[in-house]
Amino acid sequence: MKVLSASCISVICIFFLVHSAFGQAGSVAGEVLDEQGDPLIGANVFIEGLSLGAASDIDGRFSINGVPYGSYTLKVSMVGFESASQSISVGAPQATIAPIILKEEVLQSDEVVVIANRREQELISVPVSVAIMAPEELVNRNILSLDDALRQFSGVHVQGNQVSVRGSSGFAYNVGSRVLLLLDGLPLLSPDTDGIPFESLPFAQIERIEVLKGPGSALYGGGALGGVINVVTKRFSDTPETVIRGFAGAYEPVRYAEWRESWDEADDPRPLYGGTVSHSHQVSEKFGFWLNLDFREDASYMRLSEKTLFQGFTKLGWQFNASVRLDLLTSVLWRDKDDFLFWNGARDALQPGSLAISGSDTPSGTNDNRSNRFSIMPSLTHVVDNTLFYQFKARLYGIGLRPIDSRGNPRSYSDGTYGFRYGGEFQMNWNPSPHYYLTTGLSIDANTTHSSFFESADGDLIGSQPEGAAFIQWEQNLTSRLSLTAGLRYDYYSIDASDTVTKLSPKVNLAYAITPGLRLRAAYGEGFRIPSLGERFIEDRDFFPIIRNLDLIPEESTSYEVGLRNLLTFGDSSTSLLFDVAFFWNEFDHLIETAFVPSRSAFQFVNLTSARIQGLESSIESTLFDDAVRLRVGYTYLDAEDLDQDRPLSFRAKHQISSSIDATVWQRIMAGVDFRYLSRPESVNSDFALFVPDAETLIDTQVLDARLGYKAANWRAMFILRNALEYYYMERPALLAPPRHAIIQLEASF
């Protein structure tokens, strides 16, 4: 806590010292139009080299405040249109520029990403494998949870509540994610288990979802062992904009009579429904905000698996003066959920089972709980001039989890879990010339959790993991075609005041522009992950027999990649093709897995495995017929080997295909199809299968989703059919994936 307090005081002192040094600055205003002169809503406008930007409003207008006097390059991008650049000069309180015209064309390579180098840059120039999902794709698929979005990414495998990027994770019950989740660049992993909170996101106000494939520890530290997910929220609309969205649907009745025998409601459709209200407005030059409220109800397709959720997100922005901006992102969540943990066997797949383990209390396959979460994330940005800006960011993420008794009443927090993850970071970006770019910073974090399921080294129920880090990255154009990126991060962890861990994580990237549209890249990086509080301290017999392990050591990874990205346009540029292929080789040490301990009649997290994963990933994105058709196909091949056991690594699919096609069928009528295929894992070995019937019954995944919609100027209607072929499969052991279900979505904006 002394380290945290001293750092907070330093932040405040630096803020007041620089406050008197603000230079002259003005604003840039303009509008974004299509080739017919119609306004484009939601275009992304940003000033290259600065952390400043805006989104065009319903009239296509935008305004960027706090721009220091000087010359810049303004970049404009939007899904469905070719990006544009324009040189601007700011030398007065307000600079108004000529309208910016975007040509219709989907060039995904010109989309903006932050995740690769902690700054905004075009995807085509990024020297690592990065994928993006735009907000239009979230709406069209009625995506309400991050895991549903991630299933559309090539090379990303979701197993229940666990995310694996290029095979980095197996199945670990959402305890200790090897993929780091960021919200506007700030970590958002749960304090108790380091699990990803899939639902705690403002989906109506998401600008894009970025996925970095491969270790990201050199910039983001622990948790980024296998990759990084960054969810970027939208900027404020220049004119008031309100969006109301509602959906309703149902799971089909259970097909098999054998599954219906033990569940009376299996013959009935099971409903799911909800709604979102969202409002955004840049009220004045100094203040803007957006608000996002969600409600969801899901009766589920399994017995004892219902869910009710209420959630609110707000983002506030203040432009204090010409150079300083403060953004504040906050959220609250309330959820009642029956967690279906594992089935009663393949012949009774919709009924929760039980574990008959000697010495246990026969744990049940369901867990009823009430969850409360909140987050507070302020960010202060000071733009010194056109070459330098820096940011202070802080974060506080709290959770409370209470079991619900047989009468439906939540028990005390002393019978459950409550905890906090808090900290902050300083980042400076310096661009002294077009050929050099420096990113550096400091980060501090602490994680304190009280849980009836935890038992720390001294027998207390509290676990904590304070940590600190320093990072630096240098980017340089070695020639007109060749660029180098090199970075290094030093992390320090104190685990429960009983152990100290330090780690150096380097990275080196090279990118070579063979032609303007053809880029060759090579990357080397190291990653690591500190064991979560749940993995080290959990001691439980009520829901799942598991014992603590205070001797866990960090997981580590080393990654190599060679890739080629090629952008082609044909004819009058109405047809484009973006091709990306990457060969990767990852080595992992001390991977944490669960193992059964016969002498204790319980499971335990242990450092079990050293592994090597090598493979190939390729993807094609294309637009045809003047953007009437968009096509995306991705294929990932994995050769994942457990080096200790000399066998395939468990729960990794050797082949994965993800594809989608969207088309404008006639005028405003649109249709789309998504198809996902994953081959059955070569190895599904798990001690879990010793006590749960048919837990190793995994098969190929073959899922087809279809949608049909109508879009007018201010409203849209969508019909979505998920798992249209009613294919029964398991994403993870002893849990049936959702069967066929239909959803109708209506949206209005004004």
SS (H, E, C) 575-593: EEEEEEEEEEEEEEEEEEE
Q: In the numeric block, which tokens belong to residue 403?
A: 């079991």
Give, rounded to a whole angstrom, the gap between the first and last alpha carbons of the chain: 47
Give CA torsion, residues 561, 189, 184, 437, to 10 deg: -40
381 alpha carbon, distance to own chain's centre: 23
Q: What is the predicted pLDDT for the residue at 326?
A: 96
Q: What is the predicted pLDDT for the residue at 4?
A: 41
**φ and ψ at residue 102, rounded to 5 degrees:** -105, 135
Residues 70 and 139 in one domain: no
The average confidence (pLDDT) of the chain is 87
CA distances (Å), 560 to each of 334, 508, 513, 616, in order? 42, 10, 20, 12
Q: What is the predicted pLDDT for the residue at 2?
A: 42
Is 443 part of a structural domain of the chain?
A: yes
442 alpha carbon, distance to own chain's centre: 23
Most confident of 153-162, 242-251, 626-635: 242-251
Query: How do beta strands 179-183 and 227-233 pair?
Result: parallel
Q: Tell me which residue has tokens 């000399």.
A: 646
Q: What is the predicted pLDDT for the residue at 80?
A: 61
Q: What is the predicted pLDDT for the residue at 358?
A: 52
Per-residue confidence band for 152, with pLDDT thresholds at 50, 70 and 90: very high
Mean pLDDT of 325-343: 93
Residues 73 and 133 in one domain: no
Residues 437 and 289 in one domain: yes
> How far is residue 507's CA from residue 50's CA, in Å, rounded to a whole number?
24
Q: What is the predicted pLDDT for the residue at 396?
A: 96
Output the domain CATH number for residue 27: 2.60.40.4130
Exposed e or buried b for every residue in 193-219, given b needs 16+ CB within 10 A? Answer: bbbbbbbbbbbbbbbbbbbbbbbbbbb
Is 660 part of a structural domain of the chain?
A: yes
Residues 88 and 147 in one domain: no
Per-residue confidence band for 572, with pLDDT thresholds at 50, 70 and 90: low
Cα 571–577–582 angle (5° rounding)? 150
Closest CA to 723 of 137, 301, 217: 301
Taking 80 as the threshold, does the pLDDT of residue 14 lie above it? no
Per-residue confidence band for 1, with pLDDT thresholds at 50, 70 and 90: very low
Output the domain CATH number for residue 472: 2.40.170.20
Is 279 part of a structural domain of the chain?
A: yes
Is 223 part of a structural domain of the chain?
A: yes
Give the three-class secondary structure for 303. Answer: coil
Q: DSSP string covering 169-205, please?
A: ----TTSS-SEEEEETTEE---TTT----TT-S-GGG
* Residue 218 C-beta-side C-alpha neighbours within 13 Å: 25
Taking 80 as the threshold, does the pLDDT of residue 271 lie above it? yes
Taking 70 as the threshold, does the pLDDT of residue 19 lie above it? no
DSSP type of residue 674: E
pLDDT in tens, 364-390: 778 889 999 999 999 999 999 888 999
Residue type (1 letter), 445: D
Residues 711 and 621 in one domain: yes
Closest CA to 107 of 576, 529, 732, 552: 576
DSSP type of residue 215: -
What residues form DSSP beta bridges with 719? 708, 744
Mean pLDDT of 690-709: 92
Residues 598 and 647 in one domain: yes
> How far is residue 454's CA from residue 534's CA, in Å, rounded to a whole number?
7
Residues 56 and 189 in one domain: no
Give CA torsion, residues 317, 320, 323, 325, to 10 deg: -20
Is 122 part of a structural domain of the chain?
A: no
Taking 60 as the threshold, does the pLDDT of residue 671 lie above it? yes
Mean pLDDT of 155-167: 89
Share of the chain above pLDDT 70, in %: 91
Closest CA to 402 of 432, 371, 427: 371
Residue type (1 letter), 365: G
Where are the strands (E) in 60-125, listed by range? 61-68, 70-78, 81-90, 94-96, 100-102, 112-113, 121-122
Per-residue confidence band for 685, with pLDDT thresholds at 50, 70 and 90: confident
Share of the chain above pLDDT 90, in %: 49
Q: In the numeric block, which tokens belong to residue 241?
A: 């904009």
Mean pLDDT of 398-406: 90
Does residue 683 contact residue 695 with C-beta atoms inside 8 Å?
no
Residues 95 and 134 in one domain: no
Q: Tell me which residue has tokens 């506007």.
A: 184
pLDDT in tens, 80-113: 677 788 888 887 777 778 889 887 654 444 577 8
pTM across the whole model: 0.86
Q: How many CB atoms lie within 10 A of CB 142?
A: 20
Number of domains in the chain: 2
pLDDT in tens, 427-475: 999 998 888 999 999 999 988 888 888 876 665 666 677 889 999 999 9
Query: Any residues with CB less than 8 A from the CB of 127 and at least 6 apart, and which?
Result: 116, 483, 485, 509, 510, 511, 521, 522, 523
Residues 16 and 140 in one domain: no
Taking 60 as the threshold, does the pLDDT of residue 583 lie above it? yes
Q: What is the predicted pLDDT for the residue at 173?
A: 64
Please give the residue range of the domain that contains residue 151. Answer: 110-117+129-749
Residues 199 and 56 in one domain: no
Give CA torsion, residues 403, 445, 147, 317, to 10 deg: 110
Is 450 part of a structural domain of the chain?
A: yes
| Phi-psi group of 63: left, alpha or beta (phi > 0 → left; psi -120 to 50 → alpha; rest → beta) | beta
Q: Tell me which residue has tokens 């980024």.
A: 224
Taking 90 as the threshold, does the pLDDT of residue 725 lie above it? yes
More confidently predicted of 359 and 623: 623
pLDDT in tens, 523-570: 999 998 988 888 888 887 666 778 888 888 899 999 999 999 998 877
Residues 97 and 147 in one domain: no
Q: Which helix (H) or strand (E) holds 604?
A: strand 602-624
Is 123 part of a structural domain of the chain?
A: no
265 alpha carbon, distance to own chain's centre: 35
Domain termination residue (choose one: 104, 138, 168): 104
Q: What is the predicted pLDDT for the residue at 327?
A: 96
Does residue 336 contact residue 307 with C-beta atoms inside 8 Å?
yes
Q: How many CB atoms lie within 10 A of CB 257?
A: 9
Mean pLDDT of 594-614: 87
Residues 188 and 226 in one domain: yes
